[in-house]
Chains A and B, each alone.
Chain A
Amino acid sequence: MQDFKAQRNAMSSRLEVKLKNQLPEIHRLAEAVDGFFEAQGLPIKLAYNFNLAFDEIITNIVSYGYDDEGERFIDVSLSLVDGLVEAEVIDDAKPHDPLQAKTPDITAAAEDRPIGGLGVFFIKTLMDKVEYRHENGRNHLYFCKRTSA
């Protein structure tokens, strides 16, 4: 089974990775994402931002999304078209809109600082746009960022 595709041409590029619902898969994805950004000549900081967004959302899916221990797959895509990097994460875990999570109180003192919800807050802050939809029994999380931001 081919689970890793990268297509490149002069105008646009696309990366697709199919992940198992296991945390170590995030590292495998990160290497593919780093390679994608490097091949496009884009800054490492942008790769970091996308890796962070993928990491936070996939950690949530793997940790809380399934009722059983069975093997599932999460489809991740990344594309660059005309200076816009677009990403999508599609999973068949329980319907869950991460954008409904409460914004954490980032001014609280260390002693009573909650860390839950921070991951989604990162995605919202670092990306230009984030959208969620549930379609055909699957969660779709889309996010994008301009390369020139």
Chain B
Amino acid sequence: MDVIEERQGKTIIVAGKGRLDSNTSKDFETRLMGLAAAPETSMVIDLGNVDYISSAGLRVLLMALKKVKAGKGKLALCAVQSHVREVFDISGLSTVFSIHPERQAAIQSVA
């Protein structure tokens, strides 16, 4: 999976592209956890180009959320594709994450 990192103000935007599965989640975990370690992290994860997530991928997103929350920061997801969204819904994680259709709304929510 390719990862693009951008900044808008104090918010870090992490945009993934490709598959987030057991095979690719380890690298993504290392990347995310490095970013999430700072106190009061403001982070948006853009899943618009992520066309596949397995439970291993969800686990990484959940770990990042816990880490950001532990540092009194905020994390939001955006642009989740509908078939990927179903996995969030089934697992009950739709209510755990703040999920926005548009990137800008997600950025505002964590600002």
Contacts and interface: CB of A to CB of B under 8 A. Distances in A.
Given A27-B23, A110-B65, A111-B69, A122 B92 contact: no
A106 to B, nearest CB: 3
B105 interface: no
A48 B87 CA distance: 10
Given A26-B21, A121-B90, A51 B62 contact: no
A23 interface: yes
Contact of B55 (A44, A48, A56, A126): A56
Interface string A112-125: 01010011011001
Interface string B54-75: 1110110010011001000000
B91 A121 contact: yes
Interface of B is mostly: helix
A93 B56 CA distance: 21
B22 to A, nearest CB: 4
B54, B92, B96 — most chain A CB neighbours (10 Å)? B54
A65 to B, nearest CB: 13
A32 interface: no
A26 B91 contact: no
B55 A118 contact: yes
Interface of B: 19, 21-23, 52, 54-56, 58-59, 62, 65-66, 69, 82-83, 86-87, 90-93, 96
